[in-house]
Amino acid sequence: MATTRTFLVLFSLACSLTLCICDDESNYGGGEGNLFPGFYRSSCPKAEEIVRSVVAQAVAKEARMAASLMRLHFHDCFVQGCDGSLLLDSSGSIVTEKGSNPNSNSARGFDVVDQIKAALENECPGTVSCADLLTLAARDSSVLTGGPSWMVPLGRRDSRSASLSGSNNNIPAPNNTFNTILSRFNNQGLDLTDLVALSGSHTIGFSRCTSFRQRLYNQSGNGSPDITLEQSYATNLRQRCPPSGGDQNLSELDINSAGKFDNSYFKNLIENMGLLNSDQVLFSSNEESSELVKTYAEDQEEFFEQFAESMIKMGNLSPLTGSSDEIRKNCRKINS
């Protein structure tokens, strides 16, 4: 118990060491619409502390949860903007995004979101949006695993709709080509630098066999493996991921430090040891991207700074603000 308390105290202190010291609307220049870090200063001053505490407990219980929560934020923002639409269950006219190809049997952490929302509703009913708590949880997941912190612009509201087609069509897939992945980032207003930096989140977490099997056995449809995959690494992966069956078997996205947010991911790409095709093409398919991979592999601080900047940029995608839509009481369903 003492160890857990010490962990939470140290985490709280770490979160105060942010890359941006501004916290009000007048000083903040990187927001979108009415978003700014001090949005809940008066209406729910303990909001960030509450999110931080629940996420810390969840990650202490299961380290993998940090990557899962961060992924929820990515997949939410790429569909209708960062509006919490991913969190909605199917109901009435709403068809959940949870059933899309990128999310089905893969997206997880919704129970932790429920816990955060319940704690926020207990403290400040009807005040903090699901979209904002998910954005905060992503930042806290970075910090908890040793990554950067940043001031999160807040003030998003929650969508009353979801888009299954948007989830299927907007989120990059593990076997996409470099050009397809970049195009999907560009469609969101994100550039090549954002693509490479945000892909660095794969320094933590795991991926299912079904997401990288093609690289091991049939990369180009001719029954041959991906020649860019380092051979001994490929041999190891085949032991966990057979040609058929074992779809849910997990492998580390970063073979060297799957539980630590660092720049090891980029070092792996240079060694042709990226797990997903969408990872490895960052180094093998584009010169500008390859140079960024080398830069981040050599300079973790530069990666951290750019990752924080790109996370803020992504978090500002098409937010609902003002009186738009609603603040959900339950992240899984719209208010009645």
In a domain, 205, yes or no: yes
pLDDT tens-digit readout, 213-253: 999 998 888 888 998 899 999 999 999 999 999 999 999 99
Arithmetic mean of pLDDT, 122-129:
98
Give the HSE-up count for residue 254: Cα atoms under 13 Å, Cβ half-sphere. Answer: 21
Residue 263, domain CATH: 1.10.420.10
In a domain, 303, yes or no: yes
The one-letter amino acid code at 71 reads: R
* 167, 182: one domain: no
In a domain, 255, yes or no: yes
**pLDDT score, position 28:** 43
Question: Mind telling me the catalytic residues?
Answer: 75
CB 293 within 8 A of CB 282: yes
Residues whose CB is less than 8 angstroms from the CB of residue 194 and which lie 6 or more positions away in sequence, other chains included: 185, 310, 313, 314
* 233, 277: one domain: yes
pLDDT tens-digit readout, 82-121: 999 999 999 999 999 999 999 999 999 999 999 999 999 9
DSSP characters over 269-305 = HHTT--SSHHHHHHHHS-HHHHHHHHHHHH-HHHHHH
Task: Pick the last residue of a domain from 118, 143, 171.
Answer: 171
Split into its structural domains, the chain has a count of: 2
Task: Pick the last residue of a domain from 148, 171, 194.
Answer: 171
**pLDDT score, position 187:** 96
Scored b (16 or more CB within 10 A) or e, 219-258 reads beeeeebbebbeeebbeebeeebeeeeeeebbbbbbbebb
**pLDDT score, position 9:** 40
Give the HSE-up count for residue 260: Cα atoms under 13 Å, Cβ half-sphere. Answer: 7
In a domain, 15, yes or no: no
Indicate the DSSP class of residue 129. Answer: -
Residue 208's H or E segment, with its range, is strand 206-208
* 185, 165: one domain: no
User: From residue 24, how far is each of 34, 41, 179, 224 by CA, in Å?
Assistant: 11, 9, 38, 55
* 184, 81: one domain: no
* Binding-site entries for heme b: 202
In a domain, 162, yes or no: yes
* Binding-site entries for substrate: 172
Domain span including residue 194: 178-314
In a domain, 57, yes or no: yes
* Binding-site entries for Ca(2+): 76, 79, 81, 83, 85, 97, 203, 254, 262
pLDDT tens-digit readout, 139-182: 999 999 999 999 999 999 999 999 999 999 999 999 999 999 99
* 224, 245: one domain: yes
Q: How far apart are the first and last CA of the chain?
A: 41
Residue 115, domain CATH: 1.10.520.10
| Number of residues written out for the chain | 336
